[in-house]
Amino acid sequence: MKQLCTSLLFALFTVSQSQTLTQSFNEPVIGDIDKNYRLDTSAFTSGMPVSTTGSNCAWNFSMLTGAFPVIVDSFISPSAAIGATANPGATFAQHRDLLYNFYKSVASPQQTELLGAYSPSLTITFTNSAIIAGYPISYGYNLSDLVSGSFKYNSTNGACNGSITISANGLGTLQLPGNVTLQNVLCLKSVEELTLSSGIFPFGSFNQTIYNYYMPGKKFPVLNLNYTTYQLLAGTPTITAYVYGNNNYFYVAGLKESTFNKKDYQVFPNPFHDKLFMNSKNTSEENEYILYDVNGQLILKTRSLSNAETESLLPGIYILEIKNRSGSLHQKVIKE
């Protein structure tokens, strides 16, 4: 999810060839990274084909194109996230820009719970945690959960109540740009409805519908559509629609992607103790190396990876971005 009011609910699923979703394969672990483009939907003048459901679906999203920059979601330790003290039971957190979502992995029964979310203006904590997945999951799966908790919007505190409903309502083929067609794709529809109140007075409402499309064997969705309507006090409702696509399956117009192959760039050793090095098959490109911690904070920028002062870094997980004229890629590196 992208800003807080478009980011409370992440369907954390994956799909095997049999379309059975399992907790052991899917649930993010600390250090996971999901990278997406914000997609241009202007070619869909009659709307997106999200209403197609059933066991033999055909979704055509071939007219979508991406836009820079790449949007990075990092899964980090809850203790490293802002707002962690309000979510003491979290086992992992999801970080994007100024937003943090907190999750709890439950072994018995197997399920993923959303505990809360933090942004500088609005925080929500579920005292009755929101179950967003009960495993195993396959086509036809449905889950509804009543949720309750508290919120803080700037200096206003109050209560929130509502529900989350998730359904695996579609199975079929997904057509993407570049004549790419993916088979056996599962669509998961998530609906969240919250009412906010301060004392005896209504304060606002939040309604969000998300469509996630998963191809077999992938941990994160290929495509995510997020529709949100929220209203605070008696103000005008705010309606947002965001579409995101996995950067491995969508292209950016004008980008020379053919010259930027991840397999051509090898960072080693990983894990590392002191120095990092890189072997590249593309010697004609001048690279810039940018290192971030798991909170997304900039650690260093350099034109020479081997000369970067990485010896003094604290042990932990970092995100290395390699940039040149052809594009960029992100790689997780571990300092021991």
Per-residue pLDDT in tens (0 to 9) along the chain, 336 residues: 334 443 444 434 333 344 777 898 888 989 888 888 889 999 999 999 999 999 999 999 999 988 766 788 999 999 989 999 999 999 999 998 889 999 999 999 999 999 999 999 889 999 987 999 998 888 999 999 999 999 999 889 999 999 999 999 999 999 999 899 999 999 999 999 999 999 989 999 999 999 999 988 888 899 999 999 988 877 788 889 999 998 778 876 544 443 456 677 888 998 898 899 988 877 667 888 888 876 667 888 999 998 899 999 988 888 888 888 777 777 888 888
Distance of CA 112 to the CA centre of its chain: 15
CA distance 287 to 32: 24
DSSP designation for 259: G
Q: Are 215 and 222 in contact (CB under 8 A)?
A: yes
Residue 97 makes CB contacts below 8 A (sequence gap 6+) with: 296
Question: Which residue segments constitute the domains of the chain, with CATH numbers given?
Answer: 4-246 (no CATH), 257-335 (2.60.40.3080)
Calpha distance 61→266 (Å, rounded): 33
Q: Give which of 80, 164, 77 is closest to 128, Cα–Cα.
A: 164
Strand 288-293 with 277-280, pairing: unpaired
pTM of the model: 0.75
Residue 202's Cβ-count burial label (10 Å; 0-12, 13-18, 19+) is: middle
Residue 12 Cα to chain centre, angstroms: 9
For residue 322, what are the CA distances in angstroms to 33, 63, 217, 272? Answer: 15, 28, 26, 17
